[in-house]
Amino acid sequence: MWPSKVTICEVGLRDGLQNEKKILSVEEKLQLLDMAVDSGVRIIEIGSFVHPKAVPQMADTDQVVQKMQKVDGVEYRALVANLKGVERAHAAGLSKVKLTVSASEAHCINNFNKTPVEMIEGFASCMEFISKNNMEVSGAISTSFGCPFQGKVPVEQVENAVRGFLKLGITELSLSDTTGMANPRQVYELGSYMVKAFPQVQWVLHFHNTRDMALANIAAGIEAGVRTFDGAFAGLGGCPFAPGASGNVATEDVVHMLHEMGIDTGINLLKAMDTARMAAKLVGHEAASAVLKAGRCEDITKEKVQHQSNK
């Protein structure tokens, strides 16, 4: 049975912009943030606190946090990789962070020179700071469905990362398809297993649309019992540390599909499309968004009815 409501997290300001050649100004980022909030999005990843040389597009996240107008009922979070990132987030005035690790040992060692277990063990100092400063935290497990270096990632490796986060007390976890290698059957099987094996976890799925399977994967994730998904306006994005990782699934495409299925998201689709158009304009290239190109199904129906009434 399909749910009546699904939650969409907007990650365009972080995962959407981190691989763009054009670096947006703080004011441009704030404009997109305000538009996303106005569209009805209630969970937003506003950036990341990582080394500016590694991801220069995120170097001004501190300023974005300090200057943004916080709206009641909206959750603002940022991605961090270590204690320094957590400290920067707190100093800027942000109360929620997301720690990330790769399920793939090859990906983790290639990017951080550490195994996933060593990465998670290193988060202990982060959790101590988070606890002392009354912050909130979630976790993300990248390459959960496949790795550009390792290929298929065994379920056991994903499960090891889950158990590591749980030991730290983190119960909101995202399974990320970093390079768009997931397929619907895999998503359903892994999602169903994780939902049943770890009922205490609030699960999130994060898909890239590298091979045009993201929407199908979201549908499979819903059938598996997951109710929260990430999306990025205009389908922007990609991981600078994962070869072949093209853009995220477009938020507006996800909203359009779910609304056509009779599933509420709380997001105004027309306003979400406006956000996507603005994002595409600011980065200077076309959006990877089907609904922006083809229009809403609802609009096509209205045009047909109007055409018939004019005969």
**Domains of the chain, start order:** 7-309 (3.20.20.70)
| Residue pLDDT, tens place only, 232-272 | 999 998 665 555 556 899 999 999 999 999 999 999 999 99
pLDDT attached to residue 67: 98
| Residue pLDDT, tens place only, 45-76 | 999 999 999 899 999 999 999 999 999 999 99
Catalytic residue selected from 108, 126, 239, 297: 239
Q: How far is CA 17 from the centre of its chain?
A: 12
Q: How far is CA 239 from the centre of its chain?
A: 12
Return all residues near 193 (Cβ < 8 A) that are at least 6 apart.
155
- CB distance 209 to 245 below 8 Å: no
The percent of residues in the chain predicted with pLDDT above 70, rounded, is 94
Burial class of residue 129 (count of CB atoms within 10 Å of its CB; 0-12, 13-18, 19+): middle
What are 297-300's contacts with CB under 8 Å, separation 24+? 297/256, 297/260
* Half-sphere exposure (Cβ direction) of 24: Cα atoms closer than 13 Å: 29
Mark whether 297 is an active-site residue. Answer: no
